[in-house]
Chains A and B, each alone.
Chain A
Amino acid sequence: MLKAVILIGGPQKGTRFRPLSFEVPKPLFPVAGVPMLQHHIEACAKVPGMKEIILIGFYQPNDALSRYLSSAQQEFKILVRYLQEFAPLGTGGGLYHFRDQILSGGPSAFFLMNADVCSEFPLLEMLRFHRDHGDVHCAVVLATTANRKQSLNYGCIVESQKTHEVLHFVEKPATFVSDIINCGIYLFTPEIFTHIGMVFQRNQEEKRKEDQLWSRQRAEVIHLEQDVFTSLAGQQQLYVYKTQGFWSQIKSAGSAIYASRLYLNQYLQTHPERLVSSQEGGCTVNGNVFIHPTALIDPTAVLGPNVSIGKGVCIGAGVRVRESIILHGASLQDHCCVLNSIVGWDSTIGKWARVEGTPSDPNPNDPFAKINSETLFRDGGLTPSITILGCNVNIPSEVIIRNSIVLPHKDLSRSFKNQIILCQEVPSCLFSRWNHATAPLSPTCTVCFITTTPCTFLAI
């Protein structure tokens, strides 16, 4: 029998997904109309012999996660459990810590996947490849091709043309090694734990030698890529299966829109019932669009391509939405225009307002280009990117919000371009006074957004 393990991370991870990850854990963020994790779970549930899906992460137990797990269990008739790490243990530490649970029942193999990837999940093909190559080794790594420049951002794999063995593996090299990159989806046999165990022992010994006061990392933290794969490469233990199917990381909000497009396109084959087409008396639909059945859409609205409309969303007359995700409960009033944006839960956009971002799509002329994970700032200014409205943001009529990120629970009163709108617009914001003591007070604070620790002021 088979199992699947999905690494879902925790609140300190996935900070590039803020402010959307303030409301909902990133793995539950809707991509193409369903939670990010659901695409993984659906793919796993389709594999014959799959008996259990285990989620490993360090989120505190919360309603959203528990509710999702129980509904997934019911829908897919498969055991789904969440195992919480006592601390962030890296991509290999949690796996090792819960090895007994993973191996209980004696699975012949198990898949390991990162929650924040978007993929066709060619799991059956990976199983077939594993059997065709003798079953003896302990891991198959799913890989895809990147262009030379972007390959440096991923784990790079050097493959033997004849045997498809991984000869060399290096995580985010500084110089070009290979254009074959690691997708973050693996098929392991139980032997993998022997190798992870050796790394674990080695780390424990080194920690004992180190001064306790200065150790920056827990002894139990293990990075699968750097600690395990690099040493397994070239030992006839690690094999690579290259896929031609679509694949993308989902690190930033912009990549959620790109991933939506990939999945919505996949729905044409796998879930055509999730797509909407132009109907008599209904709104005009271009390309692939997901509309939740409880959404209310005026017939004069024009939606798509690449649009997901969430639960209970209201869309007024003459509204235009393109390349965007509209989250549950949002309300778009007459004649407004939403392009390349994510509109947060329960937000409203006033009449004739324009909410617009800049897409960060990979170069369409390069078949191996991947979405860029741009830094938030570039040349002293905000990098133009998808516009994100956090939850419960109100945009007044007739303004333009362009290339901006608006944190939750804000009522805007004017147009904004290329800004992060964090605190009150009154310059007496406590936080801006504290950090910009010598600089002119500005209505937008950016400092606390780029730190990775949640800032207490965000509770205001």
Chain B
Amino acid sequence: MKALILVGGYGTRLRPLTLTVPKPLVEFCNKPILLHQVENLAKAGVDHVILAVSYMSEVLEREMRLQEQRLGIRISLSHEQEPLGTAGPLALARELLTDNDEPFFVLNSDVICDFPFEDMLKFHTHHGKEGSIVVTKVEEPSKYGVVVYEGETGRIHRFVEKPQVFVSNKINAGMYIFSPSMLNRIQLRPTSIEKEIFPIMAKEGHLYAMELQGFWMDIGQPKDFLTGMSMYLQSVRVQNPEKLCTGPGFLGNVLVDPTAVIGENCTIGPNVTLGAGVVLEDGVRIKRCTVLKGARIRSHSWLESCIVGWSSSVGQWVRMENVTVLGEDVIVNDELYLNGANVLPHKSISESVPEPRIIM
């Protein structure tokens, strides 16, 4: 089977992290975002993954070749030279997607959840129409595109984009499975799948909704990245609790790479991910944070809701909170206070940032 992952472009919402690393390769809970999806696709029987990119990255190409070897599947890149919207990339990859009659998956690259690929295949085969969309329940549907469908069969009636009054609390989760004939609907030009393709398919009775069980998050921006991390770690606790760290000094769900070094009298968690080679010195208190590879948090510092970029160094007695994001190789001097600071790579911070702002 095949899968198309809509990787897109520069990943601007996850800056400053994406200024040095292409978004699919940013580690989410110690594994590149893309790999969470690709590994699960491979497990579900997908043997060919196509990445639809609008910005070509050598780093991404190299990494994907490695993964091809490792997972024993084929990974191609489909590069759109001009922006094709959310449906156009499918047309661009038409040749790759239609060399057999099997249905193919399409995923939004920012989605994290308990991927239900086997269930999607069963559901799609069962109703036999052209398309299935995974939907998920959210608390504030008016921020998204809402899906109205029949509870029993899953047949979709219509979509409503950002509704002002309550219409439904199920939204498009960014995961689809289509039959190859569906590609006849899409031309090779900038096209929005939600606005132009889906409404027609729904009217013709060719679009069905499958409700997702379990957690779901779009981790395309730092605030949601951290929320998604907390949800994912909770799911790890349920399914593979041995992967998490426990013991004195650890609270709640904490994921630590085996090469990370932790000092004395630290209190870590809940909801913390420490990457490879990360060093926490004595007396560090850290909660709801991701610390990326090679970063160092010096003694007595206090971090909550932060992302610390690769190889960064946070000084002693530093306090960081409120979705502070440090890009790659950032140095934060001792005794500072960062509140919602967004710091671009290779920057040295020598003054406190008491109110949220971007540091260039």
Which residue from chain A places its CB closest to the CB of B287 in the assembled complex?
Answer: A398
Check A352 against B335 for contact (C-beta < 8 Å).
Answer: no
Distance from A149 Cβ to chain B, minimum over Cβ atoms (Å): 26
A102 CA to B29 CA in the complex, in Å? 79
Minimum Cβ distance to chain A for residue B222 (Å): 21
Instruction: Say yes or no: A417 contacts B265, CB within 8 Å.
Output: no
Q: List A contacts of B354 (CB < 8 A).
A: 402, 417
In the complex, what residue of chain B is closest to A320 when comparing beta carbons?
A: B317
Distance in angstroms between the alpha carbons of A416 and B303 in the assembled complex: 17
Residue B305 lies at the interface, judged by CB distance under 8 Å to chain A: no
Bound-state CA distance A334–B317 (Å) is: 11
Say yes or no: A337-B300 contact (C-beta < 8 A), given A320-B316, A320-B335, A356-B337: yes
What separation, in Å, do the CA atoms of A334 and B265 have in the docked complex? 10
- Distance (Å) between the CB of A415 and the closest chain B CB? 9
**Cβ of B68 < 8 Å from any Cβ of A?**
no
The answer to whether A318 and B302 have CB atoms under 8 Å apart is: no
Flag whether A20 is at the interface (Cβ < 8 A).
no
Distance of A93 from chain B, by nearest CB (Å):
46
Indicate if A354 sits at the interface (CB-CB under 8 A).
yes
> B282 to chain A: which residues have CB within 8 Å?
318
> Are A320 and B300 in touch, CB under 8 angstroms?
yes
Q: Confirm or deny: B319 has a beta carbon within 8 angstroms of a beta carbon on chain A.
A: yes
Would you give the 0/1 interface string for B312-337, flagging 1 where the beta carbon is closer than 8 Å to chain A? 00001101010000000000000101
Residues on the B chain within 8 Å of A261, using CB: none
Task: Kindly state the separation between the CA atoms of A320 and B285 in the bound complex, as whole angstroms.
Answer: 15
- With a cutoff of 8 Å between Cβ atoms, the chain B residues found around residue A400 in the complex are 319, 321, 337
Q: Which of A399-457 contact B (CB under 8 A)?
A: 400, 402, 417
B299 near A: Cβ within 8 Å?
A: yes
Cβ-defined contact, A318 with B319, below 8 A: no
What's the Cα separation between A354 and B354 when bound, in Å? 13
Contact of A318 among B300, B304, B321 (CB under 8 A): B300
A398 near B302 with CB under 8 A, answer yes
Interface membership of A317, Cβ < 8 A: yes
User: Contact: B337 with A352, CB < 8 Å?
Assistant: no
Is A26 part of the binding interface, using a Cβ–Cβ cutoff of 8 Å? no
Residues of the A chain whose Cβ atoms lie less than 8 Å from the Cβ of B321 = 400
B43 to chain A, nearest CB (A): 41
Is A130 in contact with chain B by the CB < 8 A criterion? Answer: no
Assembly CA distance A322 to B265 (angstroms): 23
| A370 CB–B CB distance under 8 Å | no
Contact in complex: B316, A354 (CB < 8 Å): no
A318 lies within 8 A of B299 (CB): yes
Tally of contact residues, A, Cβ under 8 A: 16
Q: Does B294 contact A (CB under 8 A)?
A: no
Contact mask B258-284 → A, CB, 8 Å, 1/0? 000000010000000000000000110
| B 84-107 binary contact with A (CB < 8 Å = 1; else 0) | 000000000000000000000000
Given A318-B299, A402-B337, A335 and B285 contact (CB-CB distance below 8 Å): yes
How many angstroms between the C-alpha atoms of A354 and B337 in the bound complex? 9
The answer to whether A318 and B337 touch across the interface, beta carbons within 8 angstroms, is no
Contact A337 B283 (CB under 8 A): no
Bound Cα distance from A356 to B299, whole angstroms? 18
A402 to B302, CA, bound (A): 15
Q: How far is the CA of A337 from the CA of B352 in the complex (A)?
A: 14
Question: Is the contact region of chain B dominated by helix, strand, or loop, or is it mixed?
Answer: loop
Given A317-B283, A352-B285, A354-B337, A337–B265 Cβ distance below 8 Å?
no
Q: Tell me the chain A residues, 288-341 only, with Cβ under 8 Å from chain B.
A: 317-318, 320, 322, 334-335, 337, 339
From B282, B283, B304, B317, name the one whose CB has the most chain A CB atoms within 10 angstroms. B317
What is the CA–CA distance of A103 and B337 in the complex, to the nearest angstrom? 57
Return chain B residues, CB-CB under 8 Å to A337: 300, 317, 319, 335
Known: A317-B283, A334-B283. A339 touches B265 (CB 8 A): no
Measured CA separation A318–B335 after assembly (Å): 12
Distance from B46 Cβ to chain A, minimum over Cβ atoms (Å): 45
Interface string of B296-313 (1 = CB under 8 A from A): 000110101000000000
B312 to chain A, nearest CB (A): 20
Interface pair A354/B283, CB less than 8 Å apart: no
Residues A335 and B335 in contact in the complex (CB < 8 Å), given A318-B300, A400-B319: no
The smallest C-beta distance from B287 to any residue of chain A, in angstroms, reads: 9
Task: List chain B residues, Cβ under 8 A from A398.
Answer: 285, 302, 304
Q: Is the CB of B283 within 8 A of A318?
A: yes
* Contacting residues of chain A (326-364) with chain B, CB-CB under 8 angstroms: 334-335, 337, 339, 351-352, 354, 356
Q: Tell me the B60-81 residues at the A interface (CB within 8 Å).
A: none
Distance between B286 CB and nearest chain A CB, rounded to angstroms = 10
Q: Please, how many angstroms separate the alpha-carbon atoms of A351 and B265 in the complex? A: 12
Q: Which residues of A contact B265 (CB under 8 A)?
A: 317-318, 334-335
Q: Which residues of B contact A334 (CB under 8 A)?
A: 265, 283
Contacts of B285 in A (CB 8 A): 335, 351-352, 398
Query: Would you give the shortest CB distance from B350 to chain A, in whole angstroms?
Result: 15
Report B270 CB to chain A, min CB distance, Å. Answer: 13
Residues of A within 8 A of B317 (CB): 320, 335, 337
Could you tell me the distance between the alpha carbons of A317 and B300 in the complex, rounded to whole angstroms? 9
- Find chain B residues with CB under 8 A from A318 CB: 265, 282-283, 299-300
Cα–Cα distance between A352 and B317 once the two chains are bound (Å):
8
The listed residue (A317, A322, A354, A417) touching B319 by CB distance below 8 A is: A354
Q: Jot down 11 A-B pairs with beta carbons below 8 A, ordered by A.
A: A317-B265, A320-B317, A334-B265, A337-B300, A337-B317, A337-B319, A337-B335, A352-B300, A354-B302, A398-B285, A402-B337
Q: Give me the interface of A with B, judged by CB distance under 8 Å.
A: 317-318, 320, 322, 334-335, 337, 339, 351-352, 354, 356, 398, 400, 402, 417
Known A334-B265, A337-B319; further 17 A-B contacts with Cβ < 8 A: A318-B299, A320-B300, A320-B317, A335-B265, A335-B285, A335-B300, A335-B317, A337-B300, A337-B335, A339-B335, A351-B285, A352-B285, A352-B302, A354-B319, A398-B285, A400-B321, A417-B354
Contact residues of B with A, CB < 8 Å? 265, 282-283, 285, 299-300, 302, 304, 316-317, 319, 321, 335, 337, 354
9 nearest A-B residue pairs (beta carbon) = A335-B300, A318-B300, A318-B283, A337-B317, A320-B317, A352-B302, A335-B283, A352-B285, A354-B319
